[in-house]
Amino acid sequence: MPLDLSRLHLGCPYYPEHWPEARWADDARWMRGIGLTVTRMAEFAWALLEPSEDRFDFAWLDRAVDVFAAEGFQILLGTPTAAPPIWLSRRYPETLPIDDQGRRRNVGGRRHYCPNSPTYRTLSRRIARAMGERYGGRPEIVGWQIDNEFGGSGSARCYCEHCVTSFRTWLIERYSTLDALNTAWGTDFWSQHYADWSEIGAPILTNNAANPAQTLDYARFMSDSFVRFQRLQIEALREVVPAEHVFTTNFMGLFTQLDSFELAQDLDWASWDSYPTGNVFRWGAQTRNPGDLVPPYAFDVGDPIITGLAHDLTRGLKQAPFWVMEQQAGHINWESVNTLIRPGAIRLWTWHALAHGANGIVYFRERAALPAQEQYHSGLLKHDGTPDLGYREVSALAPERALMEAVAAHPPRARVALRYSYDDLWALQIAPHRKDFIYQRLIFVWYAALKHLGVDVDLVPPGAALDAYAVVIAPTAHLADAAEAAGLEAFARAGGAVIVGVRSGAKTTENAFTAQPLPGVLGGLVGANVSQWGALPDGVTFELTGELPGLAEPGAGFWVEALEPLPVADIRVLAAYAEGPWAGHSALTEHTLGQGRALYVGWYPRQAQAEAVLRRVLPMHNVPIETDLPPGLVLNRRGPYTMLLNFTDWPLSATVAGETFVVPGRDIVVRRMADARDDR
């Protein structure tokens, strides 16, 4: 039976290579017994599948597949290219990546490969195809996870000779002529003119900063390199497996170094690995504003807004239900503090994923490993093979399964889109202008504001189709091009609202400043120019005046821009600077055009200020703001279902669409709304 991505599936990976064969059948039985029907195998097992070059041993995996097939599991196989075997790296040391210090990486961990190495590509294609040939005909094998966490474990950048050669080819495709490249990169600056393609290298180990256009192109190139490496494997498999097999890779949520939208294009569905307590540490500093500490209840459940953003971004990769390919199901082992997990967390994470659009949740992992690198990581079973918290909570989902399945039948539909661009992220990383100007944090301000108001949102890449939305928010559209600007303007004229923020339209796609007045290509949309801009040190803010309630506190700080309305009809100033060098200049403008409007928010807003803007704009565009959620309570909708999840330990209440809900600590309320909105 093909894997039905429109329905709910729960699962758990299984590592037959970690356990005596005599245990496999017991493990398959208890996994099935707690309601799991999907497993994933083999994503790190290359050395066992191909013990020496071109000699394959599938017998053990055949038997593991037999055991899980007998229990009725649907099985995803991982291509094992995230774990190159020792023989491969030793025989072909040129497959090992070179880091930004020019050092060759060693074997012994994982992901030690260069995606541009011709040898690695050949051997990866061969193992993928061999697995496809072996398992394509088995009905219980339903799909594939390509590799594991592209870019993880410090593997997103390689600077080896193969990469540099491929980079030159990539540049020839992009620029055609050296003249075009020299112009785009501005190589007359600091005497960098290239007279031959072979002179171009990687942007590392430079004295002073490397060229920003070259650095951005290298990021795009490495991202494309993994796209091509993934495609090589998908193509190899598609040649030999049945057409109904589906393909994914497990993304890493808010990981920044590869363009997940690009990687997702060749996939049938998106999935990610969700570790909420680790992500509080890993992503807290790149999402929460300084001073907005991670809430105290978050230490053993994570921060639901951070986890939620990663869920929504993953759903946005295909604009369709996604999977959590690895769901934390106990404590983890890889952060600075690997906090304990209290009862209730795993059920809450399951519902949270489902509420954001997950249709598959695969609990990591079956049992805590005894030896090797992840021995401190929990599993559903303890080291001694007895049930741990994860086992108990997954078992306890049984009475809720019917409701979960009903929810999963409805793809989430949001009316607000939040633009998310890896190019902008990288360009701002290369030149933040104040070191803590972090793209994801600016996205997070608006995301947190929307979630606080209980508004569902889709994350969309630049240039995405906007027809389904009423409001589009681009916290910055830093590298927007003319085509995107035209699309946004058409969207506004047709009745949509566009909200853009600081540094929008400032750069070309080649990461040079625009020669037009700011906001560059967005000037016609915004109806105002940015006449002054700059960073402010911590603690300095300019007071704002204006008619919009909620903007005053704490004034405009961090990054500010002065706006000059253009001589166009229908431009309104909603806020102005009341003090500082730009006193009297506009800070927030609203341009009415056609049936819709465009707002420019001329400073880096605090969450409450973003909410003030949303409270004005959303209702004007028929997106109701129904609630105001206390910290720790989150709200999501799928079709007719409204779900409220309480991540704190104490009861919380909220009024949604006129009805008051009280949600006990660490609990969930799911309500089928009588006046369910259109479930398109």
Q: What is the set of active-site residues? A: 149, 326
Alpha-carbon distance of 425 to 437, in angstroms, equals: 10
Q: How far is the CB of 503 from ligand GAL (least distance, A)?
A: 32
| CB closer to ligand GAL out of 364 and 439 | 364
Eight-state DSSP code of residue 386: S
Compose the 111-150 pattern: x for residues touching Zn ion by CB under 5 A, - for all others.
---x-x----------------------------------
| CB closer to ligand GAL out of 364 and 641 | 364
| Binding of ligand GAL by 377 (CB under 6 A) | yes
| Binding of ligand GAL by 332 (CB under 6 A) | yes
| CB closer to Zn ion out of 119 and 182 | 119
| CB closer to ligand GAL out of 148 and 211 | 148
Q: Which of 88, 163, 294, 380 binds Zn ion (CB under 5 A)?
A: 163
Copy the structure tokens of residue 462. 């630049």
Cα dihedral sign, 673-674-678-679? positive
Q: How far is the CB of 252 from ligand GAL (least distance, A)?
A: 7
Residue 120 interacts, among Zn ion, ligand GAL, none and using kind-specific CB cut-offs from 5 to 8 Å, with none
Residue 163 interacts, among ligand GAL, Zn ion, none and using kind-specific CB cut-offs from 5 to 8 Å, with Zn ion
Alpha-carbon distance of 7 to 404, in angstroms, equals: 10
Q: Mark the segment that binds Zn ion (CB under 5 A) among 40-48, 106-114, 267-275, 572-580.
A: 106-114
Cβ(128)–Cβ(231) below 8 Å: no
Residue 148 interacts, among ligand GAL, Zn ion, none and using kind-specific CB cut-offs from 5 to 8 Å, with ligand GAL
Q: How far is the CB of 614 from ligand GAL (least distance, A)?
A: 34
Q: Which of 50, 273, 561, 590 binds ligand GAL (CB under 6 A)?
A: 273
Cβ(644)–Cβ(451) below 8 Å: no
Q: How far is the CB of 378 from ligand GAL (least distance, A)?
A: 9
Omega before residue 554 within 30° of 0, cis: yes
Q: Which of 92, 229, 272, 275 binds ligand GAL (CB under 6 A)?
A: 275
Q: Which residues in 201-225 are b (16+ Cβ under 10 Å) and which e?
A: bbbeeeeeebbbbbbbbbbbbbbbb
Residue 245 interacts, among Zn ion, ligand GAL, none and using kind-specific CB cut-offs from 5 to 8 Å, with none
Q: How far is the CB of 81 from Zn ion (least distance, A)?
A: 14
Q: How far is the CB of 432 from ligand GAL (least distance, A)?
A: 27
Compose the 349-368 pattern: x for residues touching ligand GAL by CB under 6 A, - for all others.
---------------x----
Cα dihedral sign, 313-318-321-327? negative
The residues in 219-248 that bind ligand GAL, with binding defined as CB under 6 A, are: none
Cβ(322)–Cβ(314) below 8 Å: yes
- Residues facing 364 on adjacent strands: 328
Residue 114 interacts, among ligand GAL, Zn ion, none and using kind-specific CB cut-offs from 5 to 8 Å, with Zn ion
DSSP state string for 528-550: EEEEEEEE--TT-EE-EEESSTT
Q: How far is the CB of 310 from ligand GAL (least distance, A)?
A: 13
Cα dihedral sign, 597-601-607-613? negative
Alpha-carbon distance of 76 to 62, in angstroms, equals: 13
- CB hemisphere CA count around 356 (13 angstroms): 31
| Binding of ligand GAL by 388 (CB under 6 A) | no
| Binding of Zn ion by 222 (CB under 5 A) | no
Alpha-carbon distance of 252 to 107, in angstroms, equals: 23
Residue 489 interacts, among ligand GAL, Zn ion, none and using kind-specific CB cut-offs from 5 to 8 Å, with none
Element (H, E) at 451: helix 439-452
Alpha-carbon distance of 359 to 237, in angstroms, equals: 24
Residues contacting ligand GAL: total by CB under 6 A = 10
Cβ(596)–Cβ(471) below 8 Å: no
CA nearest 36: which of 350, 273, 305, 286?
350
Compute φ and ψ for 425, nearest 5 degrees.
Answer: -55, -50
Cβ(218)–Cβ(170) below 8 Å: no
Copy the structure tokens of residue 143. 């799909």
| Binding of ligand GAL by 326 (CB under 6 A) | yes
| Binding of Zn ion by 160 (CB under 5 A) | yes
In sequence order, the 6+-apart residues with CB closer than 8 A to the CB of 20 are none
Residue 160 interacts, among Zn ion, ligand GAL, none and using kind-specific CB cut-offs from 5 to 8 Å, with Zn ion
Q: Mark the segment that binds ligand GAL (CB under 6 A) among 64-72, 160-168, 306-314, 326-334.
A: 326-334
Eight-state DSSP code of residue 195: S
Q: How far is the CB of 115 from Zn ion (least distance, A)?
A: 7
| CB closer to Zn ion out of 34 and 156 | 156
| Binding of Zn ion by 75 (CB under 5 A) | no
Alpha-carbon distance of 276 to 286, in angstroms, equals: 15
| Binding of Zn ion by 158 (CB under 5 A) | yes
Q: How far is the CB of 281 from ligand GAL (least distance, A)?
A: 13
Alpha-carbon distance of 163 to 57, in angstroms, equals: 32
| Binding of ligand GAL by 158 (CB under 6 A) | no
| Residue 671, helix vs strand vs coil | strand
The residues that touch ligand GAL, with contacts defined as CB under 6 A, are 148-149, 273, 275, 326, 332, 334, 364, 374, 377
Binding site for Zn ion (CB under 5 A): 114, 116, 158, 160, 162-163
